[in-house]
């Protein structure tokens, strides 16, 4: 699913030291991986490379055997829409839309994901409702404005939006930082269940190392990065 080789990244060419230096990283199809490191360690930078938002200065970042740097900006956008579901730390929901409408946005720019969603349900709205219910948002909340939902409810909407259309890769960026321990564990278990149903690889990023025992693989960013002096 993910292969990084000799990756160097600098935010500015004038930087003496790279922001990120990763000799090698491999994540297999279907893995549930916990990626951790303290604030400022480069987690967000790595996610930007995996999502194709930024490209490495040197080395290769491959997803699904596709070298992201070899794609144009437009093709990277299309690739991201087709193959990656992203759960943001602050959820990035449109507050004036309902949960159903927010979830359906996950398919708006991807015909392959629309097609896969319609293989699961008769309409995109039905598939959005199925995912919201599976992730713990009761039907009475499906038509409310997203702005009126609690943090935990918004989190479920963001997860459903990432999963609609069964993208091959789900990236979750600190999505449980606002939850207490019991709710964090429950939400992660829901993510695992949906990832297994969708056949998605899950890369879950957090600074909270207490969560790593829930995952079948844990990666410390400091263990895979090369310290450049």
At 14-43, the pLDDT tens digits run 888 888 999 999 999 999 999 998 887 889
Percent of residues, the chain, with pLDDT higher than 90: 79
Give, in words, the CATH class of 2-224: alpha beta
- Interatomic CA distance for residues 42 and 163, integer angstroms: 25
What's the pTM value of the predicted model, to 2 decimals? 0.93
pLDDT value for 229? 40
SS3 of residue 227 by DSSP: coil
3-40: string of b/e by CB count within 10 Å (b at 16+)? bbeebbbbeeeeeeebbbbbeebebeeebbbbbbbeee
* Residue range 156-170, pLDDT digits in tens: 999 999 999 999 999
- The answer, yes or no, to whether residue 227 has pLDDT greater than 80, is no
Q: What are the C-alpha distances in Å from 43 to residues 46, 124, 150, 171?
A: 5, 33, 27, 12
Q: Where along the chain do its domains lie?
A: 2-224
Query: Residue 73 class from Cβ within 10 Å (0-12 exposed, 13-18 middle, 19+ buried)?
Result: exposed
Give residue 214's pLDDT band: very low, low, confident or very high (50, 70, 90). very high
* Residue range 87-128, pLDDT digits in tens: 998 899 999 999 999 999 999 999 999 999 999 999 999 999
């Amino acid at each position: 699913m993910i292969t990084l080789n000799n990756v160097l990244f600098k935010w500015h060419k004038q930087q003496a030291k790279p922001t990120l230096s990763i000799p090698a990283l491999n994540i297999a199809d279907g893995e549930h991986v916990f990626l951790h490191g303290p604030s400022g360690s480069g987690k967000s930078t790595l996610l930007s490379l995996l999502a194709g938002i930024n490209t490495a200065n040197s080395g290769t970042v491959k997803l699904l055997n596709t070298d992201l740097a070899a794609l144009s900006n437009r093709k990277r956008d299309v690739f991201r829409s087709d193959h990656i579901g992203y759960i943001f730390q602050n959820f990035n929901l449109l507050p004036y839309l309902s949960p159903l409408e927010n979830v359906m946005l996950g398919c708006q720019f991807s015909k392959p994901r629309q097609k896969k969603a319609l293989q699961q349900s008769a309409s995109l709205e039905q598939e959005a409702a199925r995912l919201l219910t599976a992730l713990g948002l009761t039907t009475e909340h499906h038509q409310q404005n997203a702005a009126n939902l609690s943090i935990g409810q918004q989190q479920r909407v963001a997860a459903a939006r990432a999963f609609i259309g069964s993208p091959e890769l789900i990236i979750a960026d600190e999505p449980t930082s606002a939850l207490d321990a019991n709710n964090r564990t429950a939400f992660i278990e829901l993510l695992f269940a949906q990832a297994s149903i969708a056949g998605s690889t899950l890369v879950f990023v957090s600074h909270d190392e207490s969560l790593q025992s829930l995952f079948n693989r844990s990666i410390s960013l400091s263990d895979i990065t090369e310290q450049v002096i």
